[in-house]
Chains A and B, each alone.
Chain A
Amino acid sequence: MAVVAPRGEVDLATVAAVRHALRSEEAGARVVLDLRQVEFMDSAGLGLIVEQMLRAEQDGSGFAVVRGSEQVQRLLRMAGLDERLVVLDDVLGEWDAGAVR
């Protein structure tokens, strides 16, 4: 299991770095994107999450996010991703207990 935890703002200017971090994880590994330290995120971050979801579906690996700020959570809601995404309250916990498909 790999955890990527960006800090600050995820937007057009920073998304490439986050994407790089995610892709450097080996294929098939479960990935957790920890959003707790993301102050702001826009559709650039959303795009990244969607990409990662599609990848996890293709190779059967798991993907989850750790609940972020109100702004981030609202954004996920607006995009309709909150229901399709595994959202964890913490990196450790339910997910390891097998709560993920």
Chain B
Amino acid sequence: MRRLFSRRIAGDRERFRLLADLAEVADGRRSLVETADQVCALLVPHFADLCMVDVVQRGGLRRLAVKAWGTGAAERETQLRARGPTTPDTPGSGHAVATGEPQLIAPVPDELIRAGAYDERDVAMLRSLRMRACVVVPLSARGRALGALTLVVTDQSRRRYRTGDLEFVRVLSGRVALALDNAGLFTELQTVEAQLTAALGGLAEAVTIQNPNGNLIYANQAAAEMLGAATPQEMLEHPAETLVGRYEMFHEDGSPLDPDEFPGRQLLAGREAAPLVMRAVNRDSGEQRWRVVRASAVRDRAGQLTMVVNVISDITAVKRAELAEGLLARAGEVLGASMDLPDTLQRVADLCVPDLADWCAVSIPGEHNDLVTVAVAHTEPEKVALARRIAERNRTSLSEPGGAAAVFRDRAPQLTDPITDEMLVGAALDHEHLEALRALSMHAALIVPMLSRGASVGVLALVSAESGRRFDEADVTLACELARRAGAAVENARLYTERSAIAHTLQASLLPDELPEMTGWNASALYLPAGDENRVGGDFYEAIALDDGWVLVVGDVSGRGAPAAALTARMRHTLRTAVLTTGSVAEALRVLNRDLIARPALSLGTAVCVRLLDDSAQAEVYCAGHPLPVLIHHGRCAQVGDFGPMLGAFADAAWRPASVRLIAEDILVLYTDGVIDAVGPDGHFGERRLEEVLTEASTAEQAVARVRTALTDFQVGAQADDIAVLAAQRALAPVPTPAARDRMRTVDAEAGKSSPRRLEPTGVAARTNGPNPTPDGKAAPRPLPGESASEWAGVSEPVLQETYPAIDSAVPEARRSVARFAAAAGLEGERLDAVRLAVSEAVSNAVIHAYEGRDGEVHVNATVSPRELQVLVIDSGRGLRAPAETPGLGFGLKLMAEASDVFDAVERAEGGTEVRLVFGLDAHATAG
């Protein structure tokens, strides 16, 4: 009977019953697994020998139920359950779910088994089932693919599925899907609730859930505790407003927080909700807590908001530590940034608000044995003025028994909490003051001493007002630490400010308030003390009036700090007095020199003095170890003056004037070495750069301004040395004597014709090439500059260019020619003899050794600048030798070196030798 029954597929009656039974299974009370098992039990063996239900879960298929019947059913079920569903590529449940189409496979060919099997063992297992036909139908409900139902008939029952069976299975699958769908929903709901309760109940973080109306529908224990309720139940029974109302709430930055800004309420209002960091102060206890509130929305399948889950974490401990750390770090940064006392004090006050208090006042001892409030900060800017007004009225005598005075005296913090109205009444000076005090609505005050090296330098008063917060122990510790650091900074700034004030006062005494009115002259000065204010400068400038003109002085003393300042003052005043009493710069320098030498400590100084005559173009430059002044004439610069010994070094030192012509519009620029020693990206500023800068200047003001701008642009880093610059220009319409007028005309006329000068600093390194001799090689001397040569010193460049045949007679000829040139440049006596000797030796050398009997030429070029005479003796022969076979002539090189100030000889690239002789010009001949 069983055999017979089993050999045919159920008849119509049975099919209807099957559907009715399935409808019963779909009542939604069973779990998903129970439902699937039930479905299988109904179908096997009536409709199949083997039944499998696979469901879609987490993106894949999971085998939910397997049912077989007969001998070995349990083993087959285990095997098939373990094996799982087939992949979407091969016929089976995966494929059915993927395509959404039912499949009838009858018979089941071996190739199909092989294709769908995982491995040989799987093939063997599948073959052992001896499948005859197989129906796979996708299960779907409400448009959603739920899984697939697989029905198999085997050799066990020897039944077959036909097309009509497939149709029934389609109907059947609809019922099965419905049953599974209902069961699935039920299970999901149950699971979520159970999991939520279990998970959230034990969570340390506070979790609340709101329904779409904003009402609280769930709260865990942590939430109840955090928000001041005994149990979650109590929380749920109170309206949200009462809970929220227990706290004064603030943003992280101290601004008030509206409950509508909570992330949960944002979500309920349909907005995005970012995590919110907030500070809550309990209105009853004053306790302050830091919290982070996060909210996430739970939505149904249609995207409708069903609830909002809030997670609130208490970060007070973290925030405190972070705050303290941040505050102290910021304190170091902010307090170190300023050396200005009022600024530092304000920074201290600003630091404390709002992290530590609602407002903060800094007081320091005043002049009348009292504490004066010097800086105020408030969370609300508009209250700063009010707080400051009160603070200003409230000068606390240091002898008062309590309050800030006591904190200052005892160096111990004082906490006043709460501040009662009686206290305010007691402290108020009058009715108006009381009203003002009340308006500040102070709750608590913490006054801590600002200490420096154990002594009080002021007090820091922290007040809690609008926020209603209390100061706890951690606050007191933090405030004390902050005040300690502030104390050190305040003390530093105070010392600095004092010292700086002394320095400024001193400095002011070292400089003329401004340059005096100089009739017939335009003058301008610049003084830039080095960046560090504690260093009083050693530079000075001065313009001393005499009956017939002026003495300009720019000087510098060695050393730094106060001793240098004292020396500067002494130098400046001694020099001024001596100039005024003796009327002679040379004499004044000697007086100053003796004065400096007489001082017990080595006192060295440098100065450059220029004697200007109102009625004469003649000016005298005296240089005592100082950079030489620059003369700007018609847009050309030249150094003028001669170096003399520095001041304070040699008892017998004397200074001789160097004459310089200063005609209308000429500018003389005096400066200290701070200008040329200024350090920039490519080394020192240098004399060349200075001259380049000055070349364009057409007034004294411009000259000074250009130097200033150039230095600012050039300098890298802090200015290392003081800088003083003094420029004076002879005004265009002076009142000259007739003689002076004539001279000036001459100068102008000649200057216009002269060639650009080239200024070679003394001692410059050997060059590879010299000026070219005349190309034709013949003696082509240009007209000698004559008597006027010295007059143009610094203005034009007289040139001597001569070529001689390399024979003995060239020696005296060249020597005489250069000697005339040198004499015109102002050389005389021993200095002139030195030029003659050196030139004689150089030309002799060329004649004797360069050509060794061959014909050749000797070129002699000479140029003169205000500072030096330069002679070049050039041959194109064999080079410079000192042959031993000519006794005495070996002296030649030695004599050249000894007679000249700079002597060098270079092999020229094109052959031959160039001997360069440089002679410093001690004093200019003052012709005319």
Using CB atoms and an 8 Å cutoff, list the residues of chain A in contact with chain B: 9, 11-14, 40, 42-51, 54, 70-71, 74-75, 78-79
Contact = CB atoms under 8 A, between A and B. Distances in A.
Contact of B840 (A42, A51, A79): A42
A75 B815 contact: no
A79 B892 CA distance: 10
B887 A51 contact: yes
Most buried by A among B830, B840, B888, B892: B888
A30 B836 CA distance: 32
Given A12-B811, A40-B815, A78-B898, 10 more contacts: A11-B811, A12-B840, A13-B809, A42-B844, A44-B889, A46-B888, A48-B888, A51-B887, A71-B836, A74-B830
Given A40-B840, A42-B844, A79 B833 contact: no
Contacts of B888: 43-51
A43 B812 contact: no
Contact of B891 (A9, A12, A46, A70): A46
21 contacts: A11-B811, A11-B812, A12-B848, A13-B808, A14-B812, A40-B840, A43-B840, A43-B841, A43-B889, A44-B888, A47-B886, A47-B888, A47-B891, A70-B830, A71-B833, A75-B837, A75-B895, A78-B894, A78-B898, A79-B891, A79-B895
Contacts of A50: 887-888
B847 interface: yes
Nearest to B843: A12
A51 to B, nearest CB: 6
Contacts of A70: 830, 833
The 3 closest A-B pairs by CB, nearest first: A47-B888, A42-B840, A43-B891
B833 A11 contact: no
Contact of A40 (B836, B889, B898): B836
A12 B833 contact: no
A12 B841 CA distance: 9
Contacts of A74: 830, 833
Nearest to B837: A42
Contacts, number: 73
Given A12-B847, A47-B888, A42 B833 contact: no
A12 B895 contact: no
Interface of B: 808-809, 811-812, 815, 830, 833, 836-837, 840-841, 843-844, 847-848, 886-892, 894-895, 898-899
Contacts of A46: 888, 891
Contact of B812 (A9, A47, A51, A71): A9
Contacts of B830: 70, 74
Nearest to A69: B833
B881 to A, nearest CB: 14
A48 B888 CA distance: 7
Contacts of A13: 808-809, 811-812
A42 to B, nearest CB: 4
A13 B816 CA distance: 13
A11 to B, nearest CB: 5
Contacts of A51: 887-888
Nearest to A13: B808
B895 A43 contact: yes
Contacts of A78: 891, 894-895, 898-899
A74 B836 CA distance: 13
A19 B142 CA distance: 138
A11 B844 contact: yes
Nearest to A75: B837
A47 B843 CA distance: 16
A54 B888 CA distance: 12
B893 to A, nearest CB: 9
Most B CB atoms within 10 A — which of A12, A14, A46?
A: A12
A15 to B, nearest CB: 9
A51 B891 CA distance: 13
A12 B891 CA distance: 13
A78 B892 CA distance: 11
A14 B841 CA distance: 14
Contacts of B898: 78
Nearest to B836: A40
Nearest to A54: B887
Contacts of B848: 12
Nearest to B848: A12
Contact of B844 (A44, A49, A54): A44
Nearest to B891: A43
A63 to B, nearest CB: 14
B900 to A, nearest CB: 12
A43 to B, nearest CB: 4
A71 B840 CA distance: 13
A75 B889 CA distance: 13
Contacts of B836: 40, 71
Contacts of B815: 11, 40
Nearest to A14: B812
Contacts of A11: 811-812, 815, 840, 844
B722 to A, nearest CB: 44
Nearest to A48: B888
B889 A47 contact: yes
Contacts of A71: 833, 836-837
B914 to A, nearest CB: 20
Name, among B833, B891, B898, B899, the residue most crowded by chain A CB atoms within 10 Å (CB to CB).
Answer: B891
A12 B886 CA distance: 12
Give the one of A44, A46, A51 with max B CB within 10 A.
A44
A46 B830 CA distance: 19
Nearest to B819: A40
B892 A43 contact: yes
A99 to B, nearest CB: 25
B812 to A, nearest CB: 5
Contacts of A9: 812
Contacts of A40: 815, 833, 836-837, 840
A55 to B, nearest CB: 11
